[in-house]
Every structure is written in C-alpha cells, then in structure tokens.
Structure 1
Amino acid sequence: MPHFTKPAEGSWTEHYPELGTAPVDYTDSIDPEFFEAEREAIFKKTWLYVGRVEQLPRTGSYFTKELPSAGPGTSLIIVKGNDGKIRAFHNVCRHRGNKLVWNDFPQEETAGSCKQFTCKYHAWRYSLEGELTFVQQEGEFFDLDKKDYGLKDVRCETWEGFIYINLDPDAIALVDYLGDYAKELEGYPFDKMTEVYSYRSEIGANWKLFIDAFAEFYHAPILHMKQAVKEEAEKLAGYGYEALHYDLQPPHSMISSWGGMAPPKDLNMVKPIERALRSGLFGPWDKPDIEGLDNLPKALNPANFHSWGQDSFEFFPNMTLLIWEPGWYLTYNYWPTAVDKHIFEASLYFVPPKNARERLAQELAAVTFKEYALQDANTLEATQTMIGTRAVTEFPLCDQEMLLRHLHKTVADYVKEHRDAAAN
C-alpha cells in the first residue's frame, strides 16, 4: 500500500472540530418539509453550474436548462448574444406566459442556433439580448411599451469556461463564491478537452445521497469489487481505502486520491479489453500531448504524492468536478425533483482523439464509468428506501467520510439561516 499523508495529529475529521464526530442525522434526506426549505435556501440562492462555453460556439447559439430544484417548471435559456456575451433568461414569454423555447415536448431541454426567439403562441419576438422586438398586432394593445417587456434576465457568469447561473440577483460574484479552489485551478486546460460523453438519469434517491457516494471512496473496494479481476479485487477488499488528502473551504470541499493506474504496473490487474485499448476507469493510459498537463495548478495533488490519481472538488451545492491525472475530467450534477428523487447528470471530457484507437480508448472509459455509476445508483435507491422507514435515522461516519459530514452540516446551516431570516 502507498504511504498516505495525514495531518500531524489525530484524524482528518478531528482537525475540523466544527464538524463533530457524532452520528449524522439523515432526516434531511427524507423530510419533505426540509426538502422544500432546501429549494428556497439553497437552489434559489447559490451559483449553479449549467454548462460549458463550448455548447455556445457562435452568435445565436443557445440551450435551455430545466431547473426543477428551484421549483416546478423553472426553465432557463442560455444564449450567446451578438456582442459575444453569454446571458441567461427565464424561458417565459412576457405576453401570456407560454414557454418561449421548446421543440415537440415542452418539458424537454433543447439546443440550437437562431437570430431571435419567437413565441409559438402569438409570435412575439425577442432579440438575443432579451429585448422585445416585435408584437403581433401591436396597435391592439393599450399603452404597450416594448422596452418594459423584455425577457426576465438571470445572473449568469463564467469561470474557466464553466457557465453558472444564480436566481438571486444580489448574490456575490461567482469567482468569490467558488473561492480559492477556483483561483488555484485556473490554467488547467479545460478548453482543450472538448470530446464529451454525457449521461442523464432519474435516480430514486435524495440528491445528497449521490453526492455522499462520490465524496468518499471508502465504498469502492467493496461495491465495485466485481469490476476488477478476481485477484486484484481480493487485494482491494483487504487493503480498504484511505485518501491522500482532504480539504474544506466552506461551503466547498475536496478529496485527493491515489491511483497510478494509467497504465498499471501489473497488466494482469486489469481485464483483457483494457489491456488492448489501454484504457479503463482511470481513463486512457496515454496522456494527451497538450500544454497545461505537466505543470499542474496549485490545487491539484496537494499531497504531492508520486502515485496521485485524481482530485474531486465538491462545489456546493450540486456540482462535482473530478480531474484525473492521465489528462481528462468529469463533471457531475445532481438536480433534486422531490425529497426522494433527483436527476443525475454526468459528462466526461477528453482531448479530441486523433485516431480510431484513441476514440475507442475514450469510449471504453465512458462505458466503464457508466457501469460504476449504475452500481452506485442502484445502491442509493436501496438506501433511500430503508432510511425512509425512519427505523434508523442517525448513522456513524468514519474519517474517510468527512466530506459527507461537511455536506450535511452545510445544508443544515443554509436551511437554518433561511428559516431564521423568515421567522424574523
């Protein structure tokens, strides 16, 4: 086993005394009233990641984003204007409230390119900057000033090509909200990794439970044992797991993990198809030849470990950014739709392949990831069912589950602040 870096004294958790070490109450994942408070306190007040700038390659490019986490029916348009600026608007026509941008099915997200937005109901038109430009039979209206009826805008800012929105017009700037993690990740070549594989699924579990699964790797040697060859699986189960580094920068957090599996020292550790394609869960073994991967930003591999494999950043409330040593990255989003359901979105980003073998290596990594994610999702639905009985509501967490403590405490703090403000 590799040598692990830990704090000078005690455990990771004990170096953050505000977290405590007592069992954690999971009522926050089964209480409908608490869920509604989360919507108001968190998803209507914090910065939410909605996409990448590469999704808007030209003037007039747009995509829509459904945000049930902020309330049923919440829908946004994200668009690149004539001035090159990316803006966000509520997807609502100002005439009679029809959904402005949709295709055959109003509840589904869509994307495309246009010169203006035209309502399907009465043909009111809006510029890419959200201005009302045309009203059918304008003379039939009473004292109508088009300047007063532009699209309702939403705070929209970008960091390193990641597009964020915030429904709170008074929120602090995005870069200030993301804090030191964002500043210390600047310069990583996210913009070079434009080959994307995406998955989306409805999960029958509270949104926090899936973040819990990705904020600790303590489960990996057991839950994902069958994904490894038999001999290696037995080794992993025997060793257990301990991270290289944990860090909290409230409301965000991170975990750094060992890896060194690209390629593994012993090729017999992995399956034949992984040996043939030189790829697997840790991604393609051959690091892409691009600038920015040799001199990593300060935030990555904080333990400076020789066999570092990945860093996972949990940007509160619902975005995970996972950067892999071989030169690719993942994003996860968790969009709650009910106290016991959420939409899980995952995207894998690679440098575009130069040949068929590189393409197949990326596809193998994407398929392998999906198999692991399905195992997690299936387990979490079983968890949701059982905690929903309330037979047990408090659960002990180990040192490797510190980020879980932090997440549930942070959510509770946001909800308490919101409730206190409402009461006053």
Structure 2
Amino acid sequence: MAFFKKPDVGSWTENWPELGTAPVNYEDSIDPEQWKLEQQAIFRKTWLQMGRIELIPKKGSYITRELPSVGPGTSIVIVNDGEQIRAFYNLCRHRGNKLVWNDYPGEETSGTCRQFVCKYHAWRYDLKGDLKFVQQEQEFFDLDKQDYPLKPVRCEVWEGFIFVNFDDDAVSLEEYLGEFGQGLKGYPFHEMTEHYSYRAEIKSNWKLFIDAFVEFYHAPILHMKQAEKEEAEKLAKFGFEALHYDIKGDHSMISSWGGMSPPKDLNMVKPIERILHSGLFGPWDRPDIKGILPDELPPAINPGRHKTWGQDSFEFFPNFTLLFWVPGWYLTYNYWPTGVDTHIFEADLYFVPPKNLRERLSQELAAVTFKEYAFQDANTLEATQTQIGTRAVLDFPLCDQEVLLRHLHHTAHKYVDRYKAELEAKSNGSSNGATTSSTTATQKDEVNA
C-alpha cells in the first residue's frame, strides 16, 4: 500500500510504526564486529547487482567482479554462454589459482573468449563451467573431469540487470525485488545504452552514503552553491520536501519534484546549462522513444502521479539504488563495503545514444555535474564518520523526511539479529546433540555393566 501525506497534516513516519520516532543509534556504522556480522548476514545472503547485460552482449563475453563485501578475496566471473548468463567463483579447481585475470590479479577485467584457461597449469573450462582439459591428465589418480566444474554462484537477470546471490537457499530474484520490482517492469532500460561510470573509495560506512541519498532535507544547504543565487536563497528559506515516500518489505523509495525539462525559469540555471540544455537533472530534450512519457511510465514510478514530479529513487536492499529522471534517463548507485568505515561507491549513468554533437555534450555535462554533487556528499560523509567514531554521541534525532534512514538501519539490524539467532540455534543444537550422545553412551555403559 502506498501512503500519501497532505501538506502540514500527519507524517510519513507514522505509517510505519515499527520504525518508531526515537533517536537512532549509529553504533552500527562504527562497530567492527557489527560490520563482520553484516558481511555474513547481509552481503552473503541477499541479491547483489553486478551490472547490465550490455556488458556481456554476446557469446563468450565475460566480466570479473571483486567482492570484498562478501568476503576477503571473493572474486567471480560472469559470462554469457550464448544461452544464458552464468556466474562462477573465479578460481581453478586444481590448486585454487585465480582463473581469470590480466596483469594484476586484484583488478577486475573483461573480454571475450571461447574457454577459460588457468595461467598456472592450463586446466580449461568451457563457458558453462565444465572442465574440458587437464594437462597430463594421465598423471592424476582416478580423476573424472565431470567432478571438477567451476563452482557456480546463483545468477539471475531482471530487466537486463545481472544479480548474484551467494546463498543457495535464498528466494528467487523476482520474489526478492517484490512489488517495486514488479512495478518497474517495462521501463525502456534497453534503449538507454550510452553509459558513463564513476568509482570512488569513500572513508565512511556504507550505510551512511545511502542515508545521504534517501532524503532531500540536506539539498538546499549542502548543494547551495550549485544553484543560482536567487534559487539557492529561496530553497534555504523554505526548505525542500519530497513528494512521496514508500516502503515495501526490505526496499524503499522516495519521489521528488524537480528535474523539469526545460526549467520554467532559465535564470534558475547556469549559462553553460542554458547553452547545452542540460545539467544535474540530465538533458532537457526528451529522447524519441516509447515508455518515458508520464502516461507511459510503469506504475511504480511517480506513484502519486504528481504533475511537478521530477525523479524517483528506489533503494533495493542492501546496496542498489535505481534512480529515474523525468527527462528520460536513469542512473544506478552501488555501495560496496570494504570495512566498517570504508566502502567503494559506484555510479553509472545511462542515456539513449546521442544522435548529434549537441546531444553528446548535453549528456557529458549531466555526467560531470552529477560527479560534482556526489563529491560534495562524499566529503560530508567522511566528516560524519570521524565524529561518530569518537563515540561522544551515538544517538541522533531524525526528522519525518528521514524515515528511509530509519528503515535502512532497522532492516540491517533485522538481518544481523536473524543471523545471530540462527547461529545460536545451531550452537544449541550441537550442544544438545553432544549431550544426548554422551547420555546415550553412559546408558549403554550402565547396561553393559
């Protein structure tokens, strides 16, 4: 069910009473033990977005992904075998050497091949992961190549996005994405293949960066210099409030005004934006494709059907953001923790391929402008991390517009608490089993005596 709030009446947060309204404790962003639990409870048990199918468009195309968020040294290879997209642990079954890499084994790579050949002893695997050749096979003892395929990782595709999951017992990707996933089907992702990407190492907990993107309370202050003086003063005076919030299970979304193309008042934007018809909200000129006009959008986008709608941001737990803009383009964020106070931030922008130089420059301006905004957010987050780390204050009040922050930290704790309960149950089961065995042995000894 979607919730709507009339101006100055009620609140968003009251719609999800389980989240409460008390200050939120941020120790989960500075405790190393909590991070280790998150790694096992969250990143090894949920669906993780790896990229678009356009990265591996034909048979034999592959990419590798380094995933320290899942575990130290974890590396996978994702390949198009001509029939489906598959994922495998990136290691040879002979002696565990990393299978696919170029000059530096710690760096991600991509390419096209007919088979995977280990650099160490030349064991060969086909694109389905089956072992096909063993060097000097006759020297091994009762070796059956069928027993040594590459170890698979669950891999499924939704609307052209590749996901993997390291939990063999997890629900399907379709079920995991839930109502939001169903409600976004049909958006013309496949038309937007012009791709820009950024990657940065951020000195903050992964959840803090997501916190920054699920509220616009900060926008008039932190990004004031990005707007013209008159517009900046107006935003600072009256603030900024989103149009709509929603939470469905582990996932959430925020819908906002802004991003109109072109803006009603050209004095609101900078000269370069007026020239190129572009800026932070993307190119002003809508591409000539189906599926992006207000009456064509999938039902999950702009759920309030507001005329002033400009963008929607969907947060798929744990670390995948999918953000749509009214002019007809989208971007994604991924946050990959590497420690309790560090993570890798990935941003990918997708446009319909440009037809001329002006369109190309308008897309480049949007990509560069976005990067400036992201740097501003990242810089603030590192300052936040250092101060939370002092533990001088750990409980922080959140306003009504920060309801999705409450939800994120609540959901992360839910996964960790469930994982700890499972560990405790297994431990108790093992202890009970040992006690039973011991008791049985004692009873047998008494009978024998």
Specify the TM-score bucket, using the shorter chain as the normaliser.
over 0.9
Aligned equivalent of 2:330: 329
In the alignment, the residues of structure 2 paired with residue 262 and residue 236 of structure 1 have an alpha-carbon distance, to the nearest angstrom, of 19
Deviation at 1:260, TM superposition (A): 4.5
Aligned equivalent of 1:259: 258
In the alignment, the residues of structure 2 paired with residue 280 and residue 211 of structure 1 have an alpha-carbon distance, to the nearest angstrom, of 23
Aligned equivalent of 2:107: 108
For the residue of structure 1 that corresponds to 2:69, the secondary structure is helix
Q: Is the 8 A contact 2:260 2:326 kept in 1?
A: no
Q: Is the 8 A contact 2:259 2:327 kept in 1?
A: no
Aligned equivalent of 2:191: 192
Deviation at 1:261, TM superposition (A): 3.0
- The Cα offsets for residues 283-335 of structure 1, whole Å up to 9 and x where unpaired, read as 00000000111211000111111010000000000000000110000100000
Does residue 220 of the first structure (1) align with residue 232 of the second (2)? no
Deviation at 1:6, TM superposition (A): 0.9
Aligned ranges 1:372-411 → 2 under 5 Å: 372-411=373-412
For the residue of structure 2 that corresponds to 1:68, the secondary structure is coil
- 2:41 maps to a residue whose letter is A
Q: Is the 8 A contact 2:12 2:400 kept in 1?
A: yes
Aligned ranges 1:10-409 → 2 under 5 Å: 10-82=10-82, 84-294=83-293, 295-409=296-410
For the residue of structure 2 that corresponds to 1:287, the secondary structure is coil
In the alignment, the residues of structure 2 paired with residue 174 and residue 122 of structure 1 have an alpha-carbon distance, to the nearest angstrom, of 36
In the alignment, the residues of structure 2 paired with residue 312 and residue 231 of structure 1 have an alpha-carbon distance, to the nearest angstrom, of 27
In the alignment, the residues of structure 1 paired with residue 205 and residue 180 of structure 2 have an alpha-carbon distance, to the nearest angstrom, of 26
Q: Is the 8 A contact 2:322 2:331 kept in 1?
A: yes
- The Cα offsets for residues 152-203 of structure 1, whole Å up to 9 and x where unpaired, read as 0010001000100000011111000000111111100000000000000110
Aligned equivalent of 2:439: none
Larger radius of gyration: 2
In the alignment, the residues of structure 1 paired with residue 403 and residue 129 of structure 2 have an alpha-carbon distance, to the nearest angstrom, of 44
Q: Is the 8 A contact 2:198 2:347 kept in 1?
A: yes
In the alignment, the residues of structure 2 paired with residue 206 and residue 13 of structure 1 have an alpha-carbon distance, to the nearest angstrom, of 24
Q: Is the 8 A contact 2:259 2:325 kept in 1?
A: no
Unaligned runs of 5+ in 2: 426-449
In the alignment, the residues of structure 2 paired with residue 307 and residue 17 of structure 1 have an alpha-carbon distance, to the nearest angstrom, of 29
For the residue of structure 2 that corresponds to 1:384, the secondary structure is helix
Deviation at 1:125, TM superposition (A): 0.5
TM-score when normalising by structure 2: 0.92
In the alignment, the residues of structure 2 paired with residue 219 and residue 141 of structure 1 have an alpha-carbon distance, to the nearest angstrom, of 64
In the alignment, the residues of structure 2 paired with residue 153 and residue 215 of structure 1 have an alpha-carbon distance, to the nearest angstrom, of 34
In the alignment, the residues of structure 1 paired with residue 216 and residue 136 of structure 2 have an alpha-carbon distance, to the nearest angstrom, of 61
In the alignment, the residues of structure 2 paired with residue 133 and residue 217 of structure 1 have an alpha-carbon distance, to the nearest angstrom, of 54
* Regions of 4+ moved over 4 Å: none
In the alignment, the residues of structure 1 paired with residue 224 and residue 100 of structure 2 have an alpha-carbon distance, to the nearest angstrom, of 45
- 1:361 maps to a residue whose letter is S
CA shift in 2, pair 1:7/1:46, >3 Å: farther
- 1:30 maps to a residue whose letter is I
In the alignment, the residues of structure 1 paired with residue 377 and residue 276 of structure 2 have an alpha-carbon distance, to the nearest angstrom, of 25
Aligned equivalent of 2:419: 418
In the alignment, the residues of structure 2 paired with residue 69 and residue 345 of structure 1 have an alpha-carbon distance, to the nearest angstrom, of 13
In the alignment, the residues of structure 2 paired with residue 369 and residue 134 of structure 1 have an alpha-carbon distance, to the nearest angstrom, of 48
For the residue of structure 2 that corresponds to 1:168, the secondary structure is coil
In the alignment, the residues of structure 2 paired with residue 13 and residue 278 of structure 1 have an alpha-carbon distance, to the nearest angstrom, of 38
Deviation at 1:64, TM superposition (A): 0.4
In the alignment, the residues of structure 1 paired with residue 6 and residue 128 of structure 2 have an alpha-carbon distance, to the nearest angstrom, of 51
- 1:21 maps to a residue whose letter is T
- 2:216 maps to a residue whose letter is F
In the alignment, the residues of structure 2 paired with residue 391 and residue 239 of structure 1 have an alpha-carbon distance, to the nearest angstrom, of 32
In the alignment, the residues of structure 2 paired with residue 6 and residue 262 of structure 1 have an alpha-carbon distance, to the nearest angstrom, of 26
CA shift in 2, pair 1:247/1:5, >3 Å: closer
In the alignment, the residues of structure 2 paired with residue 314 and residue 399 of structure 1 have an alpha-carbon distance, to the nearest angstrom, of 18
In the alignment, the residues of structure 1 paired with residue 65 and residue 168 of structure 2 have an alpha-carbon distance, to the nearest angstrom, of 18
CA shift in 2, pair 1:233/1:17, >3 Å: same
In the alignment, the residues of structure 2 paired with residue 260 and residue 27 of structure 1 have an alpha-carbon distance, to the nearest angstrom, of 36
Unaligned runs of 5+ in 1: none
In the alignment, the residues of structure 2 paired with residue 143 and residue 275 of structure 1 have an alpha-carbon distance, to the nearest angstrom, of 72
Deviation at 1:5, TM superposition (A): 5.3
- Does 327-336 or 252-261 show the bigger shift? 252-261
For the residue of structure 1 that corresponds to 2:254, the secondary structure is strand
- Does 254-263 or 197-206 show the bigger shift? 254-263
In the alignment, the residues of structure 2 paired with residue 130 and residue 260 of structure 1 have an alpha-carbon distance, to the nearest angstrom, of 46
- The Cα offsets for residues 49-75 of structure 1, whole Å up to 9 and x where unpaired, read as 001011111100000011110111000
In the alignment, the residues of structure 1 paired with residue 271 and residue 241 of structure 2 have an alpha-carbon distance, to the nearest angstrom, of 28
For the residue of structure 2 that corresponds to 1:354, the secondary structure is coil
In the alignment, the residues of structure 1 paired with residue 277 and residue 300 of structure 2 have an alpha-carbon distance, to the nearest angstrom, of 28
- 2:350 maps to a residue whose letter is Y
- 1:15 maps to a residue whose letter is N
For the residue of structure 1 that corresponds to 2:95, the secondary structure is coil
In the alignment, the residues of structure 1 paired with residue 269 and residue 287 of structure 2 have an alpha-carbon distance, to the nearest angstrom, of 22
- The Cα offsets for residues 214-238 of structure 1, whole Å up to 9 and x where unpaired, read as 1111111100000111111111111
In the alignment, the residues of structure 2 paired with residue 335 and residue 265 of structure 1 have an alpha-carbon distance, to the nearest angstrom, of 38
In the alignment, the residues of structure 1 paired with residue 242 and residue 230 of structure 2 have an alpha-carbon distance, to the nearest angstrom, of 22
- 1:365 maps to a residue whose letter is A
Aligned equivalent of 2:446: none
Identity of aligned residues (%): 72
- The Cα offsets for residues 239-271 of structure 1, whole Å up to 9 and x where unpaired, read as 111111000001000000011432111101100
Deviation at 1:7, TM superposition (A): 5.7
For the residue of structure 1 that corresponds to 2:97, the secondary structure is coil
In the alignment, the residues of structure 1 paired with residue 146 and residue 219 of structure 2 have an alpha-carbon distance, to the nearest angstrom, of 56
In the alignment, the residues of structure 1 paired with residue 305 and residue 409 of structure 2 have an alpha-carbon distance, to the nearest angstrom, of 29
